[in-house]
Structure formats: structure tokens, C-alpha cells
Chains A and B, each alone.
Chain A
């Protein structure tokens, strides 16, 4: 039986145990009518169901974790002596071939007789393993169900048992977020260390040329893996994006929070926030086919040489994408500034704009800085716009009219090409990813700390 159908069977068992437990508890209640049952019938039902399913489920997990290694060892033990004498590395290749043969999947050329017999053996072992697993799970589930049915008495605290399991489940789910972070860090650190075994970190962090070349297998010519041009491109584009987004976003926030009539605010705010919900690939396409050619023609008209795919194109479009981030975050922060501060300023005779510029904005400044930092981290991590519209040319330049490349673009290029997965050409993607992760992490933490401090100030 496949693992999926085993899980379906377990779910059926859960329902069965639930029904049995409920009816059993009702019977117990009628027999001992002088005693009050501790829990509701469905608690007893749930308890029986869980006792039937959970131990069997753990057996399944354990089996899935351990059985491949055991089966492989048993298969290898049957191999001819001259094969088992091979080194670990070669042995792994042999067992891969045999498992390909056994599953009829993957290409195996010229199978020898002993390989075929080993494959047959492996197939047999796998079939046996499935039978043993199914039988074991059936026995465990039956024992669990019968024992827990027996245990049902008025005194049994079924609800406590069930609630303990539910709580454990809740805890488990809330650790997933932490596990994800740990997974991100561990996987990237591992691959990055592998990368640094080919290329020294100093060369990576301080090199000024990015030219990884192409390699099919780990060895061969080594390229230049200098991070600096990529970081420069990222900074350039993020800078242009901020140059577009900060003034527009801030003015939108100020106008909507302080001036706009309620009706305008209620229609304009969600419409601008639509910009935040549009997928970035759409922005990328927009930049590539509309904004890029437009900027190029505009450049022609004033005598500038602007590439259609350039830092400017990507930056401007990314700025448009970021407007709603800045505007809605700043809007929240501006409306949080206490009314008394505005009243004080207006009462002293300041005009509204003077109040905003000299009282409200300075009071809201930390929060706005936090919002801007979040937006910067978003701009640095943005991928699809730059993949399509930045031109992908990793040259060290400060000219916004030229094509550049960024950290994210390079990650996509290095991992989606035909590079061997264990070559430095592929591994560098993880080093770049880790760099990106650390930079955005720092920005986010800084922003969170600033925003939190600010909130405390007025609450």
C-alpha cells in the first residue's frame, strides 16, 4: 500500500474510533447512572480515535525514516564479494543503479546479471517492507483502540487527554515558522561553506569582477566571483526606486491623512493599495514592454543615451510598486500622532502645512524611517522586475542609464542555467542568497525596533 493510502486508512480509523468511543461512553454512562461522566461523549470518542491513530502514525514516520537505509544495507549484504569491496563512493553509484533497475525508472545501460538479481532482491525487500509495515500498523492501531475502549470509565479524564494532544499540535505548528528560519540558515550556510571551499571569501566579498563562466562538472576553468558589482547594481536600482517612491508615497500619505475629504480617502487609498497586490512579474512585463521603450525614446528626445533595459527602468517601476508600502505604513503612523500636538500648533497660529512639516512629521519621523527601511529591504529582495528590466549586465557602473545586474537576478541566472549543481557556479547562488538574507534581516530588525520604540512613545 502506498503511504498516501495508509494515511487515508488512518483517517478512516480515526472516524471509526470516534464513533466507537462515543457509543461506548454512552453505554458506560447508562450502566453507571449514579456516577457522572467526567467528559462529554465526543471527548471519549476523540480519545479512542487518537489512541488508534497516533501510535500507528509514529510507526509510519519511524519506518519511512529508517527503512530505506536498512533495506539498502540488506541489499548490499547480498551483493557479490568483489562489489562489496568497492569504496563507499562507488558502492553508492552501484546501489543507485540497482534501485533504478528495481523501479524501472531512470536510465541504466548494460545491466549485468548480478545487478538484475540484486534489483529483483531489492524489489522483493521493498514489497516485504510494505507488507510488514501495514501489518504492524494494523496491530498497533487495533491494540490502541481496544485498550482505550476498555479504559472508558466515568472517572477517566478523556477531555484532558484530548486537550493535551491538541495543545501539542498547536505548539508543533507554531514551531514550523522557527524551523523554516533554521532551515533557511542551515541550508544556505552549508552550501555557502561548500562554495567558499572553491573560492576564498575575500575574493567573493571584495572582488570587483563578476564573470562566473560556465562549467558542467565541478572542475574546469574558474571564473571571477566578485560580489561588488552586483551589490552596486542592487544599491543603484533600490536608490532609484526610493527616489521615486519616498516623495510620492509620503505626499500621498500626508494628503490622505491630513487634507483629503473622507470620501476621497476611502476611494483613493484602496485604489493605490491595488499597486501592492499586483504580482511583480506583471510589473516586470510592464517595465520591459512599456516603460523601457518610453524612457529610451524620452532619452533620445533630450539627447541622452538610455538603454531600454537599464537600472533606471527597473528602478522607476520598482518605485511605483513600492509607493503603497510607504504610503499606507506612513499613513498609519501619521494618524497615530496625537491630535493634541496638531491642535497646539494650529492654536499658535501655524498654518496646516507648517503644522505638518514642523510638528507632525518630526513626531512621526522614527516610524516613517522604519517604513522606509522596510521598503528598502523589499526593493533589495525584489526579483522579477530586475530579471526582466535591468538588462543583466554585471558591470561596475554608477550610470543609471546603463544595464546592470543585481544579487537576485544573479541567483536566478546561476540556478536556472545548465550548471552542475555542485559546481561553484551554482553554489554561489547560495552565498548570494545568504548575503541577501543577512542584509534584509538587518534592515527588518532595525525597522521593527524603530517602529516598536515609536509606538511605545505615544501609547
Chain B
């Protein structure tokens, strides 16, 4: 036996030359380790920071837009200005059609009344020097409010002769001025408002006649171009709602059915392989390509109406289909074969074993996938632009076949509005609404998964 030259446990006072080298390199390696680790942590922090910046940015911009300047006025529905015959009542011998004609012509007559006078008259009471600046006076309140007054008269003509205290939205530019979204030191030539209007706005604000009120207009009104301050999301919301309805009714059942066939019935061969590759691919096709499909096939060949939620819904359904199929398949895959075998063993047919036993167990997973698919469809913009939903629609659609906008498209339209300093905030507010809906949907999906998740 030879003596081993090096003893591993050598208690020495001074480290040898080799050991020094080892220690030095170890230190270097540990430093590298620390650096790498902190790089990783840094990346996580940067990513989280980006999420925070994005949300804080949007929310700080958008939250103020939920409150809008409104002027509180006592509006006297002056019979001297509102000179109309009494509202028509259906006679016993009158057909429905005739009555409708008469009612419409009466409404047209109401429409000719100068409701602006009502507003300017009551404004004059709070602004003593107003009579000299009548032109400015008409620009104080946003133009949409006179239609609100008209609608009040049409709904209840008894209001004529009475006085009502109303909160009327101010013009968009006054809102901008009062919120400080424009540089107050700009020369007159660059200001949107005349000096008189600015002076009045500050005066009324100081007196508490103009207040920041929660803006119902943002939720109740459709989009508007003539009366920017009362432009709202109602039309876009309904458009998105119809589209999601189509997606839920089409993409979800079809996707689930396709997944059941592919997972449970389909033989394993070249054809089903092709279908599988195809579905995976479809899930990664850019959304704008689906828009092209909609433009050329649905609108070009099937002659469906442009800008209608039904077309948008169909396009989004095709886009969501792969997502639903993939989610459902992975849920079905996770259900243990013993469930199927037990059912088959007791004499159930294959169909019965799947529809009575496997599918009920898979429902939470399927719902989660479906909700995530719907959320994805809700936020999609590009394909909708290609099927004509870019156009301006100033009404709330009553059916999926009428022209409509959608929430993300409304965001796109608003961000391009010329009145930047008003619409930047309003766009952010619309984004907040959209984000809250997405968060709600995603939260629902997570809750479902947590509540019903089963580990086999």
C-alpha cells in the first residue's frame, strides 16, 4: 500500500498557493451567482413595475373623466317659447298607423322649438352680464342637452310652465378648462374658449353652480360628434354585448362539440393529426387575418351587413373557436379513464358515458376556457376594423343586425378625436371600463377553477 500524498484534511495555518487560487475563483463564482440571481429578481421587478406603470397611468388619466363639469340650473319650461299643440291621444276610430303618423309629426314640431333659449334664459339669471354676450352664452352647455330637454317635454308635456332644477353638462372645452387640462397661460388665440366664457366658467365654479358630478352620460349615451361632452359608451357596450352573445352561442357549443369528438371518438390517423395541427395553427393566426376572412367571405360573398355585431360576432367566434377547443380537450384529457371504464362496464353506451359522466366533471374546466376565450374576443379590435365597424354610429343598436360599434373600437375612435385634451381622459375612462370587464371575466374564471378544481 502506498501512502497517499495528499491528505484531504490538512490543518494548515496559511493557505497554499492552490487553495488561494481556489478561494479566489470561488469568490468570483459566488459573485457571479449573486449577480445572476439579482438579475433575475430585477427582471421580475421590472416586469411587475411595468404592469404597475401601465395600470397607474391609465387609471390616473381615466378616473377624473368619470366626473364631469355640470352646471346646476333652474330651467323654466317657458310656455312663451314652447308653443306646441297638446300631445296627440289615440282616438277610438283611429288606426294605430294613423296615430303613429300624428304622433311623429307632433314630435317633429317639438323638435323645431328653440330649447337653447330655455338654457340661455336661465343662465342669464346667474350671469348678470350675459345679455351682451349671447353668442358665448349658447356655448356654455353642451349641445346634446337641448335634446335632453326636448325628450323631457315629449315624455311629459305637463312640464310646460313648470321650473325644474337640472344638472346640465357643460361644453367639453369648459370641462377641460376647469380641470386644468389646458395651459391657462396660453394666449387667447390658442385658447378654445373666448375670454368671457373662461371668466364665467371660473365664476360659476367658484359659486358652486358648476360642479364636478358623476357622469352618467358616459354610460347612458351613445357616441356623439356634435356634442362631445355627452358622448358615451352605451352604443359600443351594446355592440360588444351582442357580439359576445354570438360568441357564447356559437363558439362555445361548437368548440366543446369539436373537442369531444377529437378527444373521445376520433380515430388516431393522418386526418385527425392534420385537424390537430390545423387547430393549433389557427390559434396562432394573427387576428387581423380573421378580419380579412370576414371582409371577403361574410360581407363579400354572403352579403351580410357591414358594421353589424352579427358579422363581428361570427368573426370573433371563428377566432375564439381554437381557444375553446384546446381548453376543452385538455380538461377532457385530465379526467381519468376509470370514470369512462366504470360507465362502460355498467353497460352505458360510449355516448352515455361521455355525456352523463365525463362531461359533467369537465364543465368547470370548459367554463374556465370559454370565459377566457370570451375575454380575449371582447378585447379584440383589429378584425372589427376590417368589417366596417370603424364607422361612427350615434345610436344604440336594437338588434345584432344594426350598425354598431364595440368597446375596443370606441377606444380606437376616441383616441383619434381632435379634441385631444378632453378625449385623452375619456378614452382612458373607456379603457378602465373595458379593463374592469376583462378583470371581472378573468376573476370569474380563476374563481371557478379554484372552487371546482379537482385533482385526480
Q: Do A and B associate with each other?
A: yes
Shortest CB-to-CB span from B235 to chain A, Å, is 17
- Return the CB mask of A163-181 against B: 1 if under 8 Å, else 0: 1001101110110111011
Given contacts A251-B40, A279-B438, A444-B281, whether A285 and B431 have CB atoms under 8 Å apart is yes
Chain A residue with minimal CB distance to B390? Answer: A416
Judge whether A440 is part of the interface by a CB distance below 8 angstroms: yes
Judge whether B42 is part of the interface by a CB distance below 8 angstroms: yes
Interface pair A259/B288, CB less than 8 Å apart: no
Binding site for A on B (CB under 8 A): 29-30, 32-33, 36-37, 39-44, 46-48, 50-51, 54, 57-58, 61, 253-255, 257-262, 265-266, 274-275, 277-282, 284-290, 292-293, 295-297, 300-301, 318, 321-322, 325, 349, 351, 375-376, 378-382, 385-386, 388, 390, 408, 411-412, 415, 424, 427-428, 431, 434-435, 438, 442, 446
Judge whether A252 is part of the interface by a CB distance below 8 angstroms: yes
Interface pair B286/A408, CB less than 8 Å apart: yes
Residue in contact with B36 in the complex, picked from A271, A353, A408, CB distance below 8 Å: A353
Interface pair A188/B296, CB less than 8 Å apart: yes
Cα A167 to Cα B349 in complex, Å, equals 13
Judge whether A100 is part of the interface by a CB distance below 8 angstroms: no
Cα A287 to Cα B428 in complex, Å, equals 13
Q: Which of A19-27, A78-86, A381-389 has 4 or more CB atoms under 8 Å from chain B?
A: A381-389
Judge whether A275 is part of the interface by a CB distance below 8 angstroms: yes
Q: What are the 10 closest A-B residue pairs judged by CB atoms, nearest first? A: A381-B286, A279-B379, A255-B40, A251-B43, A383-B382, A173-B257, A170-B261, A353-B36, A174-B258, A187-B296
Cα A227 to Cα B283 in complex, Å, equals 26
A-B contact pairs, 30 of them (CB 8 A): A184-B285, A188-B293, A251-B39, A255-B44, A258-B40, A272-B47, A272-B51, A275-B51, A277-B379, A279-B438, A281-B408, A282-B379, A282-B431, A282-B435, A284-B415, A285-B58, A285-B428, A286-B57, A351-B30, A353-B32, A353-B33, A354-B33, A377-B286, A381-B286, A381-B287, A383-B288, A408-B286, A412-B386, A444-B284, A448-B277
Chain B residue with minimal CB distance to A250? Answer: B43
Shortest CB-to-CB span from A166 to chain B, Å, is 6
Residue in contact with A377 in the complex, picked from B280, B284, B292, CB distance below 8 Å: B284
17 other contacts beyond A188-B289, A254-B40, A415-B386, with CB at 8 A cut-off?
A: A167-B265, A170-B261, A178-B275, A180-B282, A183-B297, A184-B289, A252-B44, A255-B40, A272-B48, A275-B47, A277-B376, A279-B380, A279-B381, A383-B288, A433-B289, A433-B292, A436-B286
The binding surface of chain A is classed by DSSP as: helix
Cα A43 to Cα B446 in complex, Å, equals 37
Interface pair A429/B292, CB less than 8 Å apart: yes
Chain A residue with minimal CB distance to B414? Answer: A285
- Return the CB mask of A112-151 against B: 1 if under 8 Å, else 0: 0000000000000000000000000000000000000000
Cα A354 to Cα B411 in complex, Å, equals 48
Judge whether A298 is part of the interface by a CB distance below 8 angstroms: no
Interface pair B266/A383, CB less than 8 Å apart: no
Residue in contact with A383 in the complex, picked from B33, B376, B381, B431, CB distance below 8 Å: B381
Residue in contact with B287 in the complex, picked from A169, A380, A383, A445, CB distance below 8 Å: A383
Interface pair A275/B50, CB less than 8 Å apart: yes
Interface pair B296/A180, CB less than 8 Å apart: no
Chain A residues within 8 Å of B318, by CB: 176, 180
Residue in contact with B281 in the complex, picked from A176, A284, A421, A441, CB distance below 8 Å: A441
Interface residues of A in 354-395 (CB under 8 A from B): 354, 356-357, 374, 377-378, 380-384, 387-388
Interface pair B258/A187, CB less than 8 Å apart: no
Interface pair A415/B42, CB less than 8 Å apart: no
Binding site for B on A (CB under 8 A): 159, 163, 166-167, 169-171, 173-174, 176-178, 180-181, 183-184, 187-188, 190-191, 247-248, 250-252, 254-256, 258-260, 264, 268, 270-272, 274-275, 277-282, 284-286, 288-290, 320, 323, 327, 351-354, 356-357, 374, 377-378, 380-384, 387-388, 408, 411-412, 415-416, 421, 429-430, 433, 436-437, 440-441, 444-445, 448
Chain A residues within 8 Å of B44, by CB: 251-252, 255-256, 260, 264, 268, 272
Given contacts A174-B262, A411-B386, whether A444 and B36 have CB atoms under 8 Å apart is no
Chain B residues within 8 Å of A286, by CB: 54, 57-58
Cα A170 to Cα B376 in complex, Å, equals 25
Interface pair B284/A440, CB less than 8 Å apart: yes
Interface pair B386/A280, CB less than 8 Å apart: no
Chain A residue with minimal CB distance to B54? Answer: A286
Interface pair B411/A281, CB less than 8 Å apart: yes
Chain A residues within 8 Å of B424, by CB: 289
Chain A residues within 8 Å of B32, by CB: 351, 353-354
Chain B residues within 8 Å of A264, by CB: 44
Interface pair A408/B382, CB less than 8 Å apart: yes
Interface pair A173/B42, CB less than 8 Å apart: no
Interface pair A278/B379, CB less than 8 Å apart: yes
Interface pair A177/B30, CB less than 8 Å apart: no
Chain B residue with minimal CB distance to A444? Answer: B284
Residue in contact with B375 in the complex, picked from A177, A277, A352, CB distance below 8 Å: A277
Interface pair B254/A271, CB less than 8 Å apart: no
Chain A residue with minimal CB distance to B431? Answer: A282
Residue in contact with B349 in the complex, picked from A159, A282, A382, CB distance below 8 Å: A159
Chain B residue with minimal CB distance to A185? Answer: B293
Shortest CB-to-CB span from B344 to chain A, Å, is 14
Interface pair A180/B293, CB less than 8 Å apart: yes
Interface pair A380/B286, CB less than 8 Å apart: yes
Interface pair B47/A351, CB less than 8 Å apart: no
Interface pair B385/A356, CB less than 8 Å apart: no
Residue in contact with A171 in the complex, picked from B50, B261, B278, CB distance below 8 Å: B261
Cα A433 to Cα B383 in complex, Å, equals 12
Chain B residue with minimal CB distance to A411? Answer: B288
Chain A residues within 8 Å of B427, by CB: 285
Shortest CB-to-CB span from A112 to chain B, Å, is 26
Chain B residues within 8 Å of A190, by CB: 296
Interface pair A412/B382, CB less than 8 Å apart: yes
